[in-house]
Structures are given as structure tokens and as C-alpha cells.
Structure 1
Amino acid sequence: MSTTDTRGLTSLQGIWLVAEREIGSKLRSKAFVISTAILLLGALVLVIWGGFAAANAGGTPVAVTPDASQYVADAQGLEVTDVADRAEAEELVKSGDVDAAVVGDPSSPLGFAVIADTSVPTQLLLQLAQTPTVELLDPEEGNAALGYIAAIGFGVVFLFAASMFGGTIAQSVVEEKQTRVVELLISAIPVRSLLAGKVIGNTILAMAQILLLAAIAIVGLTVTDQTALLQGLGGPIAWFAVFFFFGFILLASLFAAAASMVSRQEDIGSTTTPLTMLIMAPYFLVIFFFDNPLVLGIMSYVPFSAPVGMPMRLFLGTAQWWEPLVSLAILIATCIAAILIGARIYENSLLRMGGRVKLSEALAG
């Protein structure tokens, strides 16, 4: 990018030019393209493999009472154990000898019901012509298992995307300072436009990865007939994308500001480590406390953890309809404050070469 290329540009044109430069440099990077392809392929394989493994794991062990035997007579893929009555069927379910039980139920419109411990085997329901009455002996445990899976998913995606692109912004800022390219850039583009372009470019790339991962999850769950899980994840995934958008802008602004305070690549960690810890904290908290309403409640209102905490509460059904709106408002307000503070630090530190700039000096100007 030369000064002649940017002469006479408006502020918005300068911002978009920098954003295009950030996007283009990443897309031309073989390491970025290959790592992204591996990530997306791995996610697709994992989702599809999990679905087919569950479907092809063998016959589903099922206990059947005499008054319900006719309902599973033509079913395929079931290992039927005949039992004398409902009480014996429930004992086998509780002990884990069978995954579910089909018993006669006069109160059911179909004349039978399915009893399971924490969740109903999908293979069994697919074999029944009509959806029966379902009774779970331990529903909380089943929700906990799904909650743990969702916690890992939200936590890993947030940690991976935020740390990778946050680190990319930091390295880009320091590289431009170290090679003095930044002096050419700001001779044609205002410093704040340069910062905005970097944040916008990397936000576009990060959101593209998030949307691709969401699409892969939807396709994979659809192909493997995991429609129940897909329906439960649809809303939380959408909210996760919205929260991640503003959360990443917040983090990206602070990463760029923190990196501008040093002039060598080896010194990046000294100013970005606190931000890295802020990214890692939600990952560990949501995995260890995914079933703790108090911790999740606090996480859903803290700006740095809200992108993980609030979608988790929405998935578990513990958040009121207005809570994501309030949490999002807090996140947006914090995002604006971070942009203003980050821009001040960035502007005051970018041309200072040599040793590390103190935070007080960067803020004072």
C-alpha cells in the first residue's frame, strides 16, 4: 500500500482499504487457509461420525411387556428383552441393562409408552410408526449430558476464534511497527482509521468462520437425523453469533491497543497476556460450571464471558426472554468503551519505538 494509492481517500474508504488488506493477507496465507480447512473438515467429520456411530452401534436393547409386544413386532435394529410387567421393565432401565422399555399404557392414545432413564434412544423412536408417550426416570441427568456437550462446543469455538484472530491482530500491529511500514500507512490514513480497518477486517474473517461452523453443524445434524438436538441448538447458536460479533470487536480493539505498546514480536506476550486470560477464562468456567446456575448467571452478564454464558443458559432454558437483550446491551456499551480506550492507546503508542510504552503514558497521550 503506497501513499499515492490512498491520497484523497475519505475516512470510510481508508478503513475499508485497510480491512481489505487484512482480509487479503490472511486469505493469501497458506497456513491460515490450511488450518481453516482442517478445522471445518474436522468439525464436519466429527458431527457426521458421531451421528452415524450412534445409529450403527448395534441393536438398541429394549425391554418389552406382553401388552406392548405387538408394537415392536416389525421393528428393526432392536434387541428385545421380554419382561413380565412395567415394574420389571423400569428396573432394567434403571440398572442400565436396557436403554429403554416399551410398556402398555391405557392412558396413551397409542396404547403404549416408552420409558427411559435420561434420554430416549433415537433408534427406537425411528422404528415406531407413531411417536409414543415418553417418560424419563432421570430427566435432569439427560439435560446435563447435553449441556456438557453444548458447553464444550461454545467454549472451544469462542476460545479458538478469539485467540487466533486476536493474536493475528497483535502480530500485524507489531510487525508494522518493527518494519516501520506504519509510518507510511499513517501518512495517508488517520491512525484511528487504521485501527478500525484492522478490527473490521479480522471481525469479518472471524464471523465467516463462525457462520461456516454453524452451517456445518446444521448440515451434519440434519444428515445424521439428529433433529431434536438441532432444534434445541438453533436459537442458542444464533444468539452466540450475535454475542460473538460484539465480543470479538471488544477483544480485537484491546488486542490492537495492547500490541501497539511494544515494538518487537517477542514482547507481545507482555501486554496481551491479560487479554489471553480473559479469553481462556470463559472456556474453563463454562466447562466446569455448565450446570451451575449461579456461575452461568454471572457469566451471562460479564461482557468478556457473555458470548459463552448467555447462549448456554438459553440452551438449558434457564434464561428469561429479556435477559439476552439486557446482556447484549451491556456488552455493546462495554464494546463502545473498549473501542474508545483502545483507540486512545493505539493512537498514542503506535509511533513510539524502542521499549515498552507504559499504560499510564499511553492513556495520557
Structure 2
Amino acid sequence: MNTTQPPRPPAGATGNSPTQAVWLVVEREIGSKLRSKTFIISTVILLAIALAGILIGGFASKNPEATTVAVTGETASVVEALPNVEATEVADDAAAEALVRDGTVEAAVLVGDGPNGFTVVALSDAPGDLVAGLSVTPEVQLLEPPTTNPMLRYFIALGFGLVFLMAASTFGGTIAQSVVEEKQTRVVEVLLSAIPARTLLAGKVIGNTILAMAQIIALAAVATVGLIVTGQNEVLSTLGAPIIWFAVFFLFGFVLLAALFAAAASMVSRQEDIGSTTMPITMLVMAPYFLVIVFNDNPLVLTIMSYVPFSAPVGMPMRLFVGEAQWWEPLISLAILLAASVAAIAVGAKIYENSLLRMGGKVKLAEALRP
């Protein structure tokens, strides 16, 4: 005789108002995550990596490795005046070339017949900063100068894209696994006997959104601390507003994605089948990351990204950082994202309700969307 008792619904769920029932599910979702050592350790590691990356990058940019150069008495005064150069004075040209050949120095600056009277001697490749420092360059006038440093622009794009990708995919995957696990273990049948499917879906989405936002806020705090410690106050001042907008856009963008992840997962009954229904959503999460990395210097692509709901959390903050967006554009983009989120929640809830209690094979989308 089977004496196994079915799992109980969240304590006190029966008889509560819809709002109370939602928050009971929210507490259940958050509590299960916070009790997971894997989640806690992975979050700490993520924050540590983010802080280390900012600190290392900041200190490296302030203390670049000096270029070692051999000089003679005739060239010493010129080379020593160049920034970030470590000069070693030798007796003659032959001694300077010997230091280059044995790898003691990267290059040697000798008296020569060039336009500026010097010759740079290197083994296989001359240091670019040394050559540039000794060269006579013409005056340059840019008609459309870049608003930000290209390297800084790239790393900011990488940061926005990577944070969005990791947070959305991690917590979206968590929701999907939770839905299928509850179907496999029949827990969902007990839960639905106490609360409606839409209440369960709302609790899952809100709970995981709170966790995702907490991680985003923690990353923003770590980035702020790292920039302050490394003295990058100018970068911090330009990043302030974009980071706030990123958090706002991520909040509603994740709600949209979370509803779709839950709906897609409800269409299958086995963990190994999750990928078959969530793959299109995963691709939508990955697309902004690759687009912003490749096209971070393309105003047209960034503009399009900033108005597409799935990529707006990355595209619009990036445009705000480089100063390419007008003050009203984030508001329009956010309105579009809110409308898309409402539509996604409505569609996701319909799929979730129609698929949650169907066991066995994969539920077809047409059947999941039936009235």
C-alpha cells in the first residue's frame, strides 16, 4: 500500500485573497533560492569577478607597462621626455642593438637619417607608442569626433550585454526548470487545488524578478565601488543615468521574458524537453548581447535595438551612455516595452493555464493558445 503523502500547497494559501496567494508563492520562490548553496555561491562568485574585472582594468589603465628602450648619449634626452618609457643608456649603437637582440629592451633609439634625425631599431615589431612619440604628425581636425573612447565604449557595451544575458538566462532557466519539476512530481496538481494557475504564474514571475533585480542592484553597487576605488570618477559620472535606466528597462524586460519562459516550460513534462520549447526565447535573450558587441559603434543598429522590446534593456542604456539619445526616447521605448510585457503576460498566462496539467508529450502551441 502506498503511504506517500502528496506535497502540501504553500501554507495558508487556501482561503487567502489573490494578492496574499501571489505573495505566498513569491515567498516560496525566493526562499527556495536563498536556501540553495549553489545560488548563493554562484552569486558571490559573479560579484567577485565583476569587482575584480573593474579593479584590474582600472589600475591597468592608470599604470600601463612602460616600454623599455635603449638609448645613447645623443638620444637620451629626447626619449626620456616621452611618457611611459623606461630608458637604458648605453655607450654606442652596437651596445644598444645587442640589448635589443637579447630581449633586454623592446627597442633602441639611435641617431639616424630620418626626418626627425632618429632611427628606431627593434627585433621584429617596433613599439607603436614609441614610434608615435617620436613621429612628426600633422594637425588633425575631426568633423564628427567620437563622444566616448572607443575602447571604453566597447567595454561598457560588453558589460550591459553580459549582465543582461547572464541574469535573464539564469533566472529564466530557473523558472522553466521549476515549472517542469512541479509537473513531473505532480506538485502542480496540489498547488492548483489551492490557487489559480494565473496566481501561481504571477508568484513565480514576481519572485524571480525580485531575485534578478537584487542581483542587478548588487552588480551596480560593485561597479560603483570599483570605479570609485580606481579613481574613475569621470566614467562613473557618465554611467550613472545609463545604469539607472538599465535597471528600469531590465525590470520590465525580465517580466516579459519570465512569463514566456514559464509558458514555454509548461508545454513539456520532462526536464530534457525544456530546450525544445524555450530555445526561441533563449535566442531572444542572446541576440542583444551579440548585437551590442558587434554594433556598439553603429548608431542605426543601436537605435533599432533601443525600440525593440527584447533588446531595449541593452540598446537604450548604451545610447544614453554615448549621448546619442534624446531625453524623450527612453520614455517612448519604455512605453513600448510595457505594452509588449502586458501582451507577453496575457499570452503566457493562456499557454500556462492550458498546458500546466497536461502530461506526457509536448503540447502543441495551437492547443496551448485555444480559448
Higher-Rg structure is 2
2:129 alignment partner, one of 72, 92, 96: 96
Deviation for aligned residue 1:139? 4.8
Q: Distance in 2 between matches of 1:313 and 1:159?
A: 18
Question: In structure 2, what is the equivalent of residue 355 of structure 1?
Answer: 361
Correspondence list, 1:192-341, <5 A? 192-341=198-347
Question: In structure 1, what is the equivalent of residue 154 of structure 2?
Answer: 148
Deviation for aligned residue 1:45? 1.1
Question: In structure 2, what is the equivalent of residue 64 of structure 1?
Answer: none
Deviation for aligned residue 1:78? 6.3
Tell me the TM-score normalised to structure 1 length.
0.79
Contact 1:143 1:316 in 2 (8 A): no
Q: Deviations over 1:76-102 (max 9, x none)?
A: x96599xxxxxx8xxxxxx6338989x
SS at match of 1:6: coil
Question: In structure 1, what is the equivalent of residue 43 of structure 2?
Answer: 36
1:218–1:258 CA distance, 2 compared to 1 (3 A): same
Question: In structure 1, what is the equivalent of residue 97 of structure 2?
Answer: none
Contact 1:254 1:342 in 2 (8 A): yes
Q: Distance in 1 between matches of 2:132 and 2:208?
A: 47
Contact 2:161 2:314 in 1 (8 A): yes
Deviation for aligned residue 1:228? 1.1
Counterpart code for 2:268: V
Question: In structure 1, what is the equivalent of residue 4 of structure 2?
Answer: none
Question: In structure 1, what is the equivalent of residue 177 of structure 2?
Answer: 171
Correspondence list, 1:58-73, <5 A? none
1:60–1:221 CA distance, 2 compared to 1 (3 A): farther
Question: In structure 1, what is the equivalent of residue 57 of structure 2?
Answer: 50
Q: Distance in 2 between matches of 1:80 and 1:314?
A: 40
Q: Distance in 1 between matches of 2:14 and 2:131?
A: 74
Q: Distance in 1 between matches of 2:54 and 2:347?
A: 41
Q: Distance in 1 between matches of 2:58 and 2:281?
A: 36
Q: Distance in 1 between matches of 2:203 and 2:266?
A: 15
Deviation for aligned residue 1:149? 0.9
Contact 2:253 2:313 in 1 (8 A): yes
1:22–1:230 CA distance, 2 compared to 1 (3 A): same
Deviation for aligned residue 1:190? 1.1
Deviation for aligned residue 1:17? 0.7
Q: Distance in 2 between matches of 1:12 and 1:196?
A: 10
Percent identical residues: 68
Deviation for aligned residue 1:52? 2.0
Counterpart code for 2:129: G
The answer to whether 1:5 aligns with 2:38 is: no
Q: Distance in 1 between matches of 2:192 and 2:129?
A: 68
1:98–1:188 CA distance, 2 compared to 1 (3 A): farther
Question: In structure 1, what is the equivalent of residue 120 of structure 2?
Answer: none
Segments of 5+ residues of structure 2 without an aligned counterpart are 1-6, 69-82, 88-115, 117-127
Counterpart code for 2:61: A
- Quote the RMSD (CA, aligned, Å): 3.0
Contact 2:227 2:233 in 1 (8 A): yes
1:190 alignment partner, one of 196, 199, 206: 196
Q: Distance in 1 between matches of 2:143 and 2:152?
A: 16
Q: Distance in 2 between matches of 1:96 and 1:137?
A: 25
Q: Deviations over 1:216-236 (max 9, x none)?
A: 000000011011111111111
**Number of residue pairs aligned between Structure 1 and Structure 2:** 313
Q: Deviations over 1:138-190 (max 9, x none)?
A: 95396322211111000000000000000000000000001000001011111
SS at match of 1:97: helix
Contact 1:169 1:256 in 2 (8 A): yes
